[in-house]
Amino acid sequence: MIGLEGALYPWRFRLVLALLALMAGAIAWRIVDLHVIDHDFLQAHGDARSVRHIPIPAHRGLITDRNGEPLAVSTPVTTLWANGKELAKAPERWNDLAAALGQEPKAFAKRLQQNAEREFMYLVRGLTPEQGQHVLDLKVPGVYGLEEFRRFYPAGEVTAHVIGFTDVDDRGREGMELAFDEWLAGVPGKRQVLKDRRGRLIKDVQVTQNAKAGKSLALSIDLRLQYLAHRELRNALLENEAKAGSLVMVDVKTGEILAMVNQPTYNPNNRRSLEPAAMRNRAMIDVFEPGSTVKPLSMTAALQSGRWKPSDVVEVWPGSLRIGRYTIRDVSRTEGRELDLTGILINSSNVGMSKIAFDIGGEAIFDTMSKLGFGRDTGLGFPGERVGNLPNHPKWRQAETATLSYGYGLSVTAVQLAHAYAALANHGKMLPLSMTRVDSKPEGAQVLPEDVAKTMQGMLQQVIEAPRGVFRAQVPGYHVAGKSGTARKATVGSKGYTENAYRSLFAGFAPARNPRIALVVVIDEPSKAGYFGGLVSAPVFSKVMSGALRLMNITPDNLPPVDPAAAMPQTADAGVSNGGRI
């Protein structure tokens, strides 16, 4: 029949043959094309089923203090992972694997069963290379290892709030680790390997891209001063049964932050039982009313106005001042009915400071505080840093003017307060703050007249050294300057102040004649022996400043005079004691 039909319709037969020939030719051409001309296509698809690129972890950059002491280092660790499908075929090895990993067998087996269909699951991360190799030596089917890096912090809780920490994937999550994450992170590399269809490694072919290590970061922190500040602040909290505390130390000549500590703190190397409150860098994040520590700034505004000079006197008797519905009171009894400007600071007179503020106006005080950095970002770029609040009223009423002058109605951080005192100590020149080491002295801005700043330095020296001064802040061998403060704590979520809740403060600098270090101490809710700044925070200032001046080899400027007679060698006595021979 076929032959007959072909004879009857020859064109149809020839068409079928032609189509078959074309198909055969197309197939032949495609075979030649793939194997001879375009052979990269098959190779690419074959490689896609066998050649893999696995990442090479990058070594995170080293963080050091200003002297090169390591504060954050990366150590190699092993991460173990498993192919659930492969591991599910060897249940008899699960107990051995659980024992090697230190996990409870039943819970481990349940986890493996839940992930039996997955081709990737983490078993454990961050093992030491020795621990990881011990598990891999068991040769459990489906268990593999990855090389990673884990961050270690040699100073532990002492630098925790400054350095911060990284997460399990080695990304910065707090502190300088987060602020400089891109700088520190580095770039991962790539390694080309051959794997079979089960994902098992057959051959390590080559490194296609080398890992690029992160850059190192040298901080402005001096680890010696950081340990000193940490110890003294911790001891002060224990002695005064306080809730929390902060301390900030600034280099007056460079703007570098030499120490920054907070209590309570935490160990970044072991965060299993970490409480969120302990993670807060209170020096940067907590804002508070600074109380009497801003009276020197208000007094600076008065001197700058030209309407007041240090010898001018203000009547402060009877220690209270009525303003409408409000009454301003002095906490302590003053020396007399009248006080000069230095006496107002020594006695911390709210009445005297308010009367001066009424004369110069709230705008003048606001302008001075604004120039000294209140209500503005410090420029440090620290994660979560707050700027506080410096109110500027269209019309300054007496109550608002008075409260601003003696440290209420505004909020600052400990860093901002230290920055302001550093500018005062630097003869009115404000330098930008820095958390990284400064190798060349930065250009600053002259925010206060130099003569006014120097006058205020002398007045603050008397606040410490005068008979009624804050003697607990004195440092043997050095002239120091500063001001204590005590501020009531505002109620959270409502207006008013919490009863019997205070912050004790001290801010100052030394040596007074050529200032090098500015230091601020804040202690939150001391409850044992008292709460005044001169009683609680001033001793911390004295101890930390004393140690810092000596560690930095700063020449003493308040040594007692040497008695020439006592300094002369007793040659005659020496001759007698040696049988008359000299």
Q: How far apart are CA 365 and CA 357, in angstroms?
A: 8
Q: Nearest Cα to 160, choosing from 238, 66, 244, 263?
A: 263
Residue whose C-alpha is closest to residue 221's, from 13, 58, 67: 67
**CA 135 to chain CA centroid, nearest Å:** 38
Cα gap 574→267, rounded to integer Å: 59
For the record, the structure tokens of 508 come out as: 């100052």
- Among 74, 292, 354, 411, which one carries the catalytic annotation? 292
Q: DSSP 3-state assignment of 500?
A: strand
How far lies 88's CA from each of 92, 319, 472, in Å?
Answer: 10, 83, 71
Cα dihedral 38→41→47→53 (10° resolution): 110
Q: Are 517 and 510 in contact (CB under 8 A)?
A: yes
End-to-end CA distance of the chain: 148
- Dihedral sign for Cα 339, 344, 346, 349, please: positive
Give the sheet arrangement for strand 257-263, strand by strand.
257-263, 244-251, 517-524, 497-510, 481-490
E strand spans, 284-353: 313-315, 320-323, 326-329, 338-340
CB 186 within 8 A of CB 61: yes
Whether 292 sits among the annotated catalytic residues: the reply is yes
Contacts of residue 126, defined as CB under 8 A and 6 or more positions apart, other chains included, come to 77, 79, 148, 150, 168
CA distance 351 to 329: 6
Q: In 3-state terms, the chain is what percent helix, strand and coil (to 5)?
A: 40, 25, 35
Is the alpha carbon torsion for 195, 199, 200, 204 positive or negative? positive
What is the biggest distance separating any 2 CA atoms in the chain, rounded to whole angstroms?
155
Angle of CA points 286, 238, 518, to nearest 5°: 50
Rounded-to-integer distance, Cα 293 and Cα 429, Å: 19
CB 127 within 8 A of CB 77: yes
By the 8 A CB rule, do 486 and 331 touch?
A: yes
Q: Is the peptide bond prior to 310 cis by the omega test (within 30 degrees of 0)?
A: no
Task: Tell me if 540 sits within 8 A of 534, measured CB to CB.
Answer: no
AA identity, residue 434: S
Say what the alpha-carbon torsion angle 435, 551, 418, 291 is, to the nearest 10 degrees. 150
How many Cα atoms occupy the beta-carbon half-sphere of 229 within 13 Å? Answer: 30
353/356 Cα distance (integer angstroms): 5
Tell me how crowded residue 531 is: count the other CB atoms within 10 A of its CB: 22
Q: Which residues are catalytic?
A: 292
